Structure 1
């Protein structure tokens, strides 16, 4: 008793059920999971984004998202104070060269890579503890840098900042991905990384304010005060994270099933224990945890399970590729060295360079926020492809106009070069920023996610280290040809994304399993799906008509 009917593309694809006579007998749990899955699209129809339960969750998510400001603050802070003679003279630094600026900047990436080895705290004692430990450590590092009388102490403080921020900024997107409502996951969790620019704006404005202050200009306080301000956001997160709900997936893995159910009821079902979304998510999560488990502290360094199947190797390929692309598309160089880049095309006034830093951060935040909302509507792949193509074009024009200024001294070429540096930043922000910690987490299974995010941090730190250490040398020696290198690299990224990246839009984290089990995951994730009606038997033996996607 089965009839097929073709429908339009559907957003949420459940695991297809089979009806042939050779199908193994399903357990009660498997039958319940199958029924829950096919009810998904209908279950979320009445859940609008402004229900009281969701609003409470948004407040918790907003607090966690402040953790993202730490990396943004550091990027703009160092780029800004490096333009202040009071800072460079105090430590005897030059504005370019590996012996000075490069190592001061790149030590942050080294700290991130070392910190990534300790993200198992989030699996061992929970996501919240990882965030708390990381934020408290960042505050300690900020105090060290703000008070250090020597360059060695300053570099050590920056290492501490990076080490602990790596722990916090790995645990934060983990909990965001795992507690966000699945139908709004990209929008809600995507906003997390857009606050990178909030940190950047805060740092840029603070440095500009102290530079323009008649009482502070040229004094140690002109760059020491911005270092103290670095305490604000991690301090707020460390105090407030106690009130944030824990990840229901982590709770289930620790046997605290009723606490996980209470979370789904309170935050995803708006307080209704009988809402279909409760049954659906609990069935999916319990099934996934029972099947896959979750990493523990004593197995976090055992990476064999990350590569033991084709499915997992493909997931890891996407994780590593995206984390490298997110730091090595030309964006990291711009965020750290914008004052130096604009100096290369004729802007030498310190105040003007600081204002340009502020404008870059503000425009980046606007476009990154737009991207966070677009990824759940347009889709990840389309956004990534458009962004990489746009970045290649922008950098090509930037290189050409910078060459024009160097060879002719044309002010028009200088202005055009600066304009396309900004357009490049906007294109990157709208396509990549929101997804940087989200997409690598989405493509991981529950037991891979914490390890995967550690590898994400290691890869991103390596890419960032190469960028920040080599950039001042490259800019000093090859100038605008540095942009040309990234033009060709971004073209490579476009091709890689087109052939290998899967679309995660419109699926729960558990539903992505069927995509990665396909012979060609990329094609499976983008293929048009067909809806049909069929009869299934529930756990009580009653027949019911359901809708499934195949």
Structure 2
């Protein structure tokens, strides 16, 4: 009788557990997105060990993003250093500088297909490999003996950068209610790196010789070295990757440790997040494939997401930011600002503004719909790009300091709107529109299209600066433009005579180089 009673109790316990489990599954399926946000918010206190662990993750991944920002600041800044042009023998704009700038994005195009390896070796593994390549590329650039060696360094820099799947990782590891804000702060780290390096560039302009440009290129390896040293100690693997490869218990421990204050795997939030991951994998099971198989993106089922991803990738590159980043120096020369210290100072101010408003954008991103912010940014960018074009054209017709000042104002205003409405989206929106089964390969597609569009932009702008006449390389001051107009009048033509003005450009370049060598 005693044994029979124990069996009844055991059966009752089993039935109770099954009923409880079934009840939890029903509750989970009934949870709305707002309910999940509330549950996530209630499960985590920022001022806790879990909050500290999230800060460490943000530090490591922020170094990734800051390193990318350093590269943009270095390439934009060293273009203002005469020593670089003296050593390699190319001008401030034109096909050579265009190829150098485009090689970064060409490297991204070539590296993007390998981002699918994140589904094989994990998010951290691909990230680590990318940073190792960046260190190699930085050393190659810094100790370049000729233009070809420098170009190879630019290519490998882009290849390594493509493998840094940090935005995908941050979106997957962040607590649901903090995802937009943490990804936004992560994006702002780009400006931290750019801001710090731009400030360093101002100091490095006082150096004589080739160290003025070699040191900034060498510093690009610094943050990549930090990431390689800490990524396996301070950051966990993505729980979504762990579930995907069958490591459910490990995924539960990661969610409990980083998403809850208690760290208990029995917290309701843990089961909710795991269930969401399971549901995503189940719904997209037919779309799963090898890391190198991208055919699924050309099927009818994924076609709409592919179109959105393509359009957003192109928009991210062709929104005008590349002109400010890579070609701010010749643009400033156009409006009469030709001293390297002044150019770098304006670049520093532009970067600081972008950083501040990127943080503001990360604060408001969860208060508005994604598309609302994107369209607000798109409209403001169109208006400000048009204003910049008009005032810079007015300066070329009637070179006044007022027109030059307005051009700089529009550039700064562009940075404000781009940072507020768009900057955070670049790291969040592409990840959110891709399901878990498609995410690693989808981000590879995103990087590929982004790199291809960037290559066209970076090379095309450089050639336009030199040959089309939108920004005249030989126009270094108001007086230069006056001389150009006089030359055109004497020849009886209304367009730029490049044969006539080419000699003037060459003379100006020689004068600048002679002056820098004299100092």
TM-score clears 0.5: yes
Residue of structure 2 equivalent to 1:286: 278
Instruction: Tell me the secondary structure at the aligned position of residue 293 of structure 2.
Output: coil
Q: Deviations over 1:409-443 (max 9, x none)?
A: 11111111111111112211211111112110110
Q: Deviations over 1:202-231 (max 9, x none)?
A: 32222221112xxx23x1111111111111
1:257 and 2:248 aligned: yes
Gaps of 5+ in 2: 1-21, 473-519
Matches for 1:20-419 after TM superposition, within 5 Å: 31=26, 33-35=28-30, 40=36, 42-47=38-43, 50-52=46-48, 53-98=50-95, 100-168=96-164, 171-212=165-206, 216-217=207-208, 219-243=209-233, 244-270=235-261, 271-293=263-285, 299-310=290-301, 312-419=302-409
The alpha-carbon deviation at position 74 of structure 1 amounts to 1.6
* Cα distance in 2 for residues equivalent to 1:152 and 1:347: 31
| Aligned 8 A contact 1:66 1:195 in 2 | yes
Instruction: Tell me the secondary structure at the aligned position of residue 436 of structure 1.
Output: helix
| Aligned 8 A contact 2:44 2:259 in 1 | no
* Cα distance in 2 for residues equivalent to 1:36 and 1:372: 26
| Aligned 8 A contact 1:72 1:199 in 2 | yes
Q: Deviations over 1:98-156 (max 9, x none)?
A: 1x111111111110100102112211110011111111110011011111111111111
The alpha-carbon deviation at position 392 of structure 1 amounts to 1.2
* Cα distance in 1 for residues equivalent to 2:38 and 2:147: 60
The CA RMSD measured in Å over matched residues stands at 2.1
Q: Deviations over 1:390-412 (max 9, x none)?
A: 11111121112112211111111
* Cα distance in 2 for residues equivalent to 1:325 and 1:419: 23
* Cα distance in 1 for residues equivalent to 2:107 and 2:315: 20
**Higher helix fraction (1 or 2):** 2
| Aligned 8 A contact 1:36 1:279 in 2 | no
* Cα distance in 2 for residues equivalent to 1:55 and 1:126: 23
| Aligned 8 A contact 2:120 2:291 in 1 | no
* Cα distance in 1 for residues equivalent to 2:380 and 2:30: 43
CA separation of 1:158 and 1:481: change in aligned 2, threshold 3 A: closer
The alpha-carbon deviation at position 49 of structure 1 amounts to 5.4
The alpha-carbon deviation at position 274 of structure 1 amounts to 3.2
The alpha-carbon deviation at position 45 of structure 1 amounts to 4.8
Q: Deviations over 1:433-466 (max 9, x none)?
A: 1111211011000111011100110111111111
* Cα distance in 1 for residues equivalent to 2:139 and 2:189: 22
The alpha-carbon deviation at position 94 of structure 1 amounts to 0.8
| Aligned 8 A contact 1:248 1:260 in 2 | yes
Residue of structure 2 equivalent to 1:519: none
* Cα distance in 2 for residues equivalent to 1:45 and 1:426: 30
* Cα distance in 1 for residues equivalent to 2:420 and 2:469: 27
* Cα distance in 1 for residues equivalent to 2:59 and 2:179: 14
* Cα distance in 1 for residues equivalent to 2:446 and 2:45: 30
Deviates more, 1:67-76 or 1:457-466: 67-76
The alpha-carbon deviation at position 72 of structure 1 amounts to 1.9
Select the structure of larger CA radius of gyration.
Answer: 2
Residue of structure 2 equivalent to 1:520: none
* Cα distance in 2 for residues equivalent to 1:341 and 1:473: 13
Matches for 1:372-521 after TM superposition, within 5 Å: 372-480=362-470
CA separation of 1:258 and 1:124: change in aligned 2, threshold 3 A: same
Q: Deviations over 1:242-286 (max 9, x none)?
A: 121110010011111001011111111221333221121111112
| Aligned 8 A contact 1:208 1:354 in 2 | yes
CA separation of 1:327 and 1:49: change in aligned 2, threshold 3 A: farther
* Cα distance in 2 for residues equivalent to 1:327 and 1:66: 22
* Cα distance in 1 for residues equivalent to 2:266 and 2:109: 45
Instruction: Tell me the secondary structure at the aligned position of residue 125 of structure 1.
Output: helix
* Cα distance in 1 for residues equivalent to 2:40 and 2:111: 38
TM-score (norm 1): 0.77
Q: Deviations over 1:177-214 (max 9, x none)?
A: 111111111111122222221221232222221112xx
Instruction: Tell me the secondary structure at the aligned position of residue 416 of structure 1.
Output: helix
Deviates more, 1:124-133 or 1:357-366: 357-366
